Chains A and B, each alone.
Chain A
Amino acid sequence: MTDTPFVQIRHAQKAYGELEVLKDISLTVERGEIVAIIGPSGSGKSTLLRAINDLDPLTSGEVILEGVQVNKQLPHRQYEKHINEMRQQIGMVFQHFNLFPHLTVRENVTMAPKLLKGLSSADADKLAEEQLAHVGMSERIDYYPSQLSGGQKQRVAIARALAMKPKLMLFDEATSALDPELVEEVNLVMKKLAEEHMTMIIVTHEMDFAASVCDRVIFMDGGVVVEEGPPSVVFQNPTQERTQNFLRKHLAQYAEGAK
């Protein structure tokens, strides 16, 4: 087990008919590692992220978490049971938050732990209070999502995912839908998670965030991993022309962030 990588993606391939969006991608993520996936839109980075918890199933290839294949081919019933168990271990945060609007902040956080882990209301409440304190949302615990700003919604969405005590967190452009002034509060929460050594895979357009928080940057384009390495290497000395072109467009932004 010690030699098995924490997350392993092997020969991931995905096609919609003729269109191949992921072309034989293999990569590993170690426990506690924070990996950013960057690249132009349409490069397949979100598709790859969504394949990790089998939200967008791969056409072929394997996703393995701690030696257990996530996207196992099983008869329907068994697959459902298996994938629900796997997904409990993989938190995901979406671009558009996807909070449940008919539930309060507290209920958003407690629903899954109560339903899936059988937590009592009292225990679930305690858990919600902890998780919401963690993201600085304690004061809004009995609000509805419609009463929150975008940044607050995303922090609650992170707390909701963390309440399931996942081993791995996936972020799918978590700050892209936010007004610029609200990005920082979400980034701070993600930085805090990074300091706590949560394993995170982050699809992002924010180069400065990727550079300052992540251990490794993966640059994707056209459904392949073009280049990967520590941010200092990928951002400062990219070897591939496609990476250079992409970074040039984002450089002003990046330079500003990195100072």
Chain B
Amino acid sequence: MGLDFSVVPSYADALLLGVIWTIAITVASAVLSFFGGILFAVIALYAPLVLRLPFRFFAWLFMGTPLLLQLFLIYFGLVELGIDLPAFVAGVIGLGLHFAVYNSELIQTAILAVDKGQMEAARTLGLSRGQALVRVVIPQAVRDVIPPIGNNMIALLKDSALVSVIGVSELTLSAQLAIGRTYRPFEFYAVAAVLYYVINLGMEAVLRRIERRTQLSR
């Protein structure tokens, strides 16, 4: 017995590809969850009841059930309805909508916390309520929740490992495939863990940059 990391380098290409897919699915889902979060927040706060009620159900579905189940439902379940999505797309939709609901909760609170004088000042200039929301209130709300949204995005990166089960060959699946051939689970899972950590550090650096950029505009 004993650990033997010497088998790892021959799978470097496969692992690197896994890293790239992990980053791709994380970035795509993050973008969807960000804009989806803003849209959901606006629906939750301002849409007429006919839109708000189905949205509530939808939000409950995404917050109250396991993400893994949601991915199964989107990837395998929708096929029965004639919607056959590629694994990557199903993964982005699942992760993106799931985290959009969480982001939306943050953004809703932040919208309500923006000083009332901001809306008043915008309306006084002649902006409509919608214009004031888009130009004045929502940008400030989003700016205020960049740090907690960043935390959600780090959780998203980690949860992206779940899409391995629907066959997206991201980092976790790449490691599993290598393990299948070499029977070296510790080595490959450990290397995968280190790679996740490195991606995480990169993400945190990007988030810190975004936060710093919004520093003056508070």
Residues of B within 8 A of A116 (CB): 125-127
Q: Which residues of A contact B124 (CB under 8 A)?
A: 53, 55, 87, 90-92, 161
Q: Is B80 engaged at the interface, CB distance under 8 Å to the other chain? A: no
CB distance from A248 to the nearest CB of B (A): 33
Residues in A96-130 with C-beta less than 8 Å from chain B: 96, 98-103, 111-112, 115-116
Please give the distance in Å from A98's CB to the nearest CB on chain B.
4
Q: Are A103 and B217 within 8 A (Cβ)?
A: yes
B109 beta carbon closer than 8 Å to chain A: no
User: Chain B residue with minimal CB distance to A103?
Assistant: B217
Contact A84 B217, beta carbon cutoff 8 Å: no
Q: Is the CB of B123 within 8 A of A98?
A: no
Asked, given contacts A98-B117, A102-B139, whether A112 binds B125 with beta carbons under 8 Å apart, the answer is yes
Q: Does chain A have a CB within 8 A of B49? A: no
B17-25, B56-64, B128-136, B177-185: which lies at the A interface?
Answer: B128-136
The reply to whether A88 and B126 form a contact with Cβ atoms under 8 Å apart is yes
In this assembly, does B13 line the interface, its C-beta being within 8 Å of a C-beta of chain A? Answer: no
Nearest A residue to B142 via CB reads A102
Given known contacts A96-B117, A98-B120, A100-B118, A146 and B218 CB-to-CB distance under 8 angstroms: yes
Query: Is there an interface contact between A112 and B118, defined as CB atoms closer than 8 Å?
Result: no
B4 in the interface, Cβ–Cβ < 8 Å? no
What residues of B have a CB within 8 angstroms of the CB of A55 in the complex? 120, 123-124
Contact among A80, A92, A94, A112 with B129 in the assembled complex (CB-CB below 8 Å): A80
- Asked whether A98 lies within 8 Å of B115 as measured between CB atoms, the reply is yes
- The CA of A99 and the CA of B117, in the complex, are separated in Å by 9
Please provide the chain B residues from 21 to 77 with a CB less than 8 Å away from any CB of chain A in the complex: none
The CA-CA distance from A200 to B124 in the complex, in Å, is 15
The answer to whether the Cβ of B121 comes within 8 Å of any Cβ in the partner chain is: yes
Check if A80 sits within 8 Å of B128, measured CB to CB.
yes
Cross-interface CB contact of B136 among A84, A92, A96, A100, cutoff 8 Å: A100
Residue from A88, A91, A101, A112 in contact with B217 in the complex, judged by beta carbons closer than 8 Å:
A101
- Contact of A147 with B115 at beta-carbon distance under 8 Å, contacts A53-B124, A55-B120 already known: no
A102 touches B126 (CB 8 A): no
What residues on A are CB-neighbors of B131 within 8 Å? Answer: 115
In contact, B125 and A88 (Cβ under 8 angstroms): yes
Which chain A residue lies CB-closest to B129? A80
Set of chain B residues within 8 Å of A98, measured between Cβ atoms: 115, 117-118, 120-121
**A111 and B123 form a contact (CB under 8 A):** no
B169 nearest CB across to chain A (Å): 41
Residues B188-206 near A (CB distance < 8 A): none
Give chain B's interface secondary structure class: helix
Known: A98-B118, A100-B118. A146 touches B125 (CB 8 A): no
Given A96-B117, A100-B136, are A147 and B216 neighbors across the interface (CB < 8 Å)?
yes
Residue numbers in A under 8 Å from B216 (CB-CB): 144, 146-147
- Whether B123 lies near A100 (C-beta < 8 A) is no
In Å, the complex CA distance between A84 and B216 comes to: 31
How far in angstroms is the closest Cβ of chain B from A129? Answer: 19
Kindly report which residue of chain B lies nearest to residue A100, judged by CB atoms. Answer: B136
Which one, A90, A112, A144, A161, contacts B127 given CB within 8 A? A112
Q: Which residue of B lies closest to A95 (CB)?
A: B117
Q: Are A146 and B121 in contact (CB under 8 A)?
A: no
Q: Which residue of B lies closest to A170 (CB)?
A: B124
Q: CB distance B127 to A115 under 8 Å? A: yes
Q: Are B217 and A144 in contact (CB under 8 A)?
A: yes
Cβ of A84: which chain B residues have Cβ within 8 Å of it? Answer: 126-128
Contact residues in B for A164 (Cβ distance below 8 Å): 125-126
Say yes or no: is A85 at the interface (Cβ < 8 Å to chain B). Answer: yes
A101-B217, A102-B140, A146-B217 known; 5 new pairs, CB 8 Å cut-off, are A87-B124, A98-B118, A112-B125, A116-B125, A161-B124
Which residues of A are interface residues toward B (Cβ below 8 A)? 53, 55, 80, 84-85, 87-88, 90-92, 94, 96, 98-103, 111-112, 115-116, 144, 146-147, 157, 160-161, 164
5 A-B pairs with the lowest CB-CB distances in the bound complex, closest first: A88-B126, A98-B121, A112-B125, A98-B117, A92-B124
Q: 27 pairs across A/B with beta carbons < 8 Å?
A: A55-B120, A55-B124, A84-B126, A84-B127, A87-B126, A92-B121, A94-B117, A94-B120, A96-B117, A98-B115, A98-B118, A100-B121, A100-B122, A101-B217, A101-B218, A102-B136, A102-B140, A102-B143, A111-B125, A111-B135, A112-B125, A112-B126, A115-B127, A146-B216, A147-B216, A161-B124, A164-B125
